[in-house]
């Protein structure tokens, strides 16, 4: 009949589907209980029991087999096949059955309660909800992996990981998810062009504002960003706030603390962005992510702010001789945490609690996180691995610059949690970020409006509140 009632019915059909899915989730522990009643031992493992040593810290038994499932998405699965070679060099008598898929939840969730794979890369659009997995006891805590010796370097596995990787995989005080990839955000530029023009990449706002007229004189816009998806500029704005005022200010913002946005220095931290817009240093037009990235590649803008997936995303259209290089978000004098870098780990592996060969699964993780394995990962995916120094020997400017950015940064990582906590504030902050970048708000107005939006969420009793501690 009409369009509107159809939509109305559509929502209802979806709720129906979601209820069915929810019922399915409930059925998982129920199935577990049933099988427990049948007398099986849920956490029995038949792969372990061999003598433990530095080269075999979990006591994996020779002749056992391990089933590894890899998510075959944007990063491909070739790197995982290389890890298999590395693993088998040390353990020739353990069979690795590796398969790759994009349908992690569809294929793995039904097996979780009975006979799961030993190691699952829980990633992509069809991933299993992490909190649900942990709350239902479906995946194994991997704290012993962290304390195990690293595969091919000194110290423990935990020592070999980039900052944040352990925290990102920890929930309720235990380490569950082993993230193998690493994303860094910052300002990108074309090093070849900068060399040719004799420009030095700025590290502070002052240096940028001094360089900007020279860039403009060449007929280029100094800066471009995604003007459609508000979370793109939001990364940059929060990097500036964190660097200027320090971590506690952002934690307070995340916790909706009274007057958190009015903290000293937040307005000043955002003023360079206001100036950037007012001085007309942005490329004209309201471009989306790929349009703005292409404009950057076409040499229409000198800088673009985005994460390290840029190289993979634009691989098909990068012009020859273009030296894509990432640099840290600019700081200004007097910043409290100028060295903190905006970065986080992702692409997580989990070991199901009922996996038959958990020892081998952990051993395989050790191989993935090894120096050799992470170097292959970086080389094949052009993304950093969560292991330190994965990009050391890769001849790729994008990767090498991200690698050195991480090396020069401090160990504290910039992160913002409130967008994951509160949908209203997520949307509002995206909208206001774009408004600021469109020149319709001043830094002061932006801060006032963010405070008002945060107050509104804090007062709304229908919204469940969350707390950030670290």
Partner 1 sequence: MRHGVARFVTGFLALPVALYLFYVVWPFAQAAGYSLTDWGGYSDSQRFVGLDNYVRLFSDELIRKAFWHNVFFLVTVPLFTIALALFLAFLLNVGGREDRAGIRGVFGSGIYKVIFFFPQVLSLVVIAVMWQQIYRTDGQGLINGLLIKIGLVDADNPIAFTADPEPFLGVPAVLWWLLFIAVWSGAGFYMVLFSAAMQSIPKDIYEAAILDGAGRFHTFFKVTLPLLRDSISVAWVYLGFIALDMYALVFVMTPSQGGPNHASEIFASVIQFNAFQKGQFGYACAIAVALAIFTILLAALQLRITRRERIEF
Output 377 or 421, the one with its CB closest to partner 1.
421
CA distances from 446 to 39, 195, 270, 314, 403 (A): 61, 37, 9, 32, 34
* Interface with partner 1, residue 440, by CB under 8 A: yes
Interface with partner 1 (CB under 8 A), residue from 9, 49, 319, 439: 9
Output 259 or 285, the one with its CB closest to partner 1.
285
Output 2 or 172, the one with its CB closest to partner 1.
2
Instruction: Give the distance between the most distant pair of CA atoms in the chain.
Output: 78
Residue 469 to residue 248: CA distance in whole angstroms? 10
Interface with partner 1 (CB under 8 A), residue from 92, 198, 219, 284: 284
- Alpha helix segments (H runs only) across 371-470: 371-381, 397-408, 418-421, 423-437, 443-459
- Residues shown for the chain: 470
Interface with partner 1 (CB under 8 A), residue from 303, 376, 434, 447: 434
Cα 119 to the center of its chain, rounded Å: 20
> Scanning residues 233 to 252, which ones bind partner 1 (CB under 8 A)?
none
* Interface with partner 1, residue 452, by CB under 8 A: no
Kindly state the tokens that stand for 91.
């353990």
Residue 90 exposed, middle or buried by CB count within 10 Å (0-12, 13-18, 19+): middle
Interface with partner 1 (CB under 8 A), residue from 88, 404, 430, 445: 430
User: What is the rounded (10 degree) CA torsion for 82, 349, 119, 105?
Assistant: -120
Interface with partner 1 (CB under 8 A), residue from 134, 193, 295, 372: 295
* Interface with partner 1, residue 8, by CB under 8 A: yes
Window of 9-17, 55-63, 98-106, 384-392 that interacts with partner 1 by CB under 8 A: 9-17
Phi then psi for residue 342, to 5 deg, are: -85, 105
CB of 102: closest distance to partner 1 in angstroms?
22
Kindly state the tokens that stand for 322.
């273009």
Window of 104-112, 225-233, 269-277, 381-389 that interacts with partner 1 by CB under 8 A: 225-233
Window of 33-41, 249-257, 379-387, 430-438 that interacts with partner 1 by CB under 8 A: 430-438
CB of 425: closest distance to partner 1 in angstroms?
10
Interface with partner 1 (CB under 8 A), residue from 291, 312, 445, 451: 291
Look up residue 368 and give its DSSP letter.
Answer: H
CB of 7: closest distance to partner 1 in angstroms?
6
Burial string for 456-467 (b: 16+ CB within 10 Å, else e) reads ebbeeeebeeee
Output 301 or 400, the one with its CB closest to partner 1.
301
* Interface with partner 1, residue 297, by CB under 8 A: no
Query: Which residues, at least 6 apart from 267, have a Cβ–Cβ distance to it below 8 Å?
Result: 443, 444, 447
Is residue 441 within 8 Å of residue 447, measured between CB atoms? no
Interface with partner 1 (CB under 8 A), residue from 218, 228, 439, 466: 228
Kindly state the tokens that stand for 155.
């110290």
Output 233 or 389, the one with its CB closest to partner 1.
233
Interface with partner 1 (CB under 8 A), residue from 181, 236, 283, 443: 283
* Interface with partner 1, residue 286, by CB under 8 A: yes
* Interface with partner 1, residue 306, by CB under 8 A: no
Phi then psi for residue 381, to 5 deg, are: -100, -10
Kindly state the tokens that stand for 21.
């899915």
> Scanning residues 345 to 364, which ones bind partner 1 (CB under 8 A)?
none
Quick one: which of 247, 234, 300 has its CA closest to 273? 234
> Scanning residues 15 to 74, which ones bind partner 1 (CB under 8 A)?
15-16, 18-19, 22-23, 26
Residue 468 to residue 276: CA distance in whole angstroms? 32
Residue 456 to residue 17: CA distance in whole angstroms? 32
Output 333 or 462, the one with its CB closest to partner 1.
462
Which residues of the chain form contacts with partner 1 (CB under 8 A)?
Answer: 2-5, 7-9, 11-13, 15-16, 18-19, 22-23, 26, 227-230, 280, 283-287, 291, 295, 423-424, 426-427, 430-432, 434-435, 438, 440, 462
């Amino acid at each position: 009949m009409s369009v509107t009632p159809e939509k109305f019915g559509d929502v209802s059909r979806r709720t129906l589907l979601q209820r069915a899915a929810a019922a399915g989730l409930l059925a998982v522990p129920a199935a577990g209980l049933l099988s427990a009643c049948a007398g099986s031992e849920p956490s029995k493992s038949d792969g372990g029991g061999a003598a433990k040593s530095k080269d075999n810290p979990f006591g994996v038994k020779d002749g056992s087999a391990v089933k590894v499932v890899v998510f075959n998405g944007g990063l491909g699965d070739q790197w995982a096949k290389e890890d298999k070679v590395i693993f088998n060099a040390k353990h020739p008598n353990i069979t690795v059955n590796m398969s790759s898929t994009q349908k992690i939840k569809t294929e793995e969730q039904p097996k979780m309660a009975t006979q799961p794979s030993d190691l699952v890369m829980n990633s992509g659009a069809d991933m299993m909800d992490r909190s649900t997995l942990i709350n239902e006891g479906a995946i194994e805590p991997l704290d012993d992996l962290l304390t195990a010796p690293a595969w091919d370097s000194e110290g423990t596995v935990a020592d070999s990981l980039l900052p944040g990787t352990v925290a990102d995989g920890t929930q309720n005080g235990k380490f569950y998810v082993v993230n193998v990839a690493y994303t860094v955000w910052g300002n990108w530029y074309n090093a070849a062009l900068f060399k040719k023009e004799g420009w030095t990449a700025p590290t502070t706002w002052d240096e940028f504002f001094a360089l900007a007229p020279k860039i403009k004189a060449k007929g280029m816009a100094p800066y471009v960003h995604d003007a459609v998806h508000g979370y793109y500029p939001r990364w940059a704005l929060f990097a500036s706030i964190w660097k200027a005022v320090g971590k506690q200010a952002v934690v307070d913002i995340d916790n909706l603390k009274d007057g958190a946005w009015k903290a000293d220095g937040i307005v000043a931290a955002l003023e360079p962005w206001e100036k950037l817009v007012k001085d007309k240093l942005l490329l004209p037009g309201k471009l989306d992510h790929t349009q703005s990235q292409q404009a950057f590649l076409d040499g229409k803008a000198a800088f673009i702010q985005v994460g390290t997936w840029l190289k993979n995303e634009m691989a098909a259209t990068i012009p020859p001789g273009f030296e894509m290089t990432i640099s840290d978000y600019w700081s200004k004098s007097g910043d409290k945490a100028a060295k903190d870098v905006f970065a986080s780990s992702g692409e997580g592996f989990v070991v199901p609690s009922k996996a038959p060969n958990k020892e081998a699964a952990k051993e395989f993780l050790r191989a993935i996180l090894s120096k050799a394995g992470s170097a292959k990962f970086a080389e094949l995916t052009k993304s950093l691995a969560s292991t330190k120094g994965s990009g050391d020997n890769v001849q790729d400017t994008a990767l090498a610059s991200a690698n050195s950015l991480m090396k020069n940064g401090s160990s504290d990582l910039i992160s913002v949690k409130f967008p994951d906590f509160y949908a209203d504030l997520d949307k509002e902050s995206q909208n206001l970020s774009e408004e600021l970048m469109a020149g319709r708000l001043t830094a002061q107005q932006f801060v006032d409006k963010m405070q008002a939006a945060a107050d509104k969420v804090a007062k709304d009793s229908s919204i469940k509140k969350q707390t950030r501690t670290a």
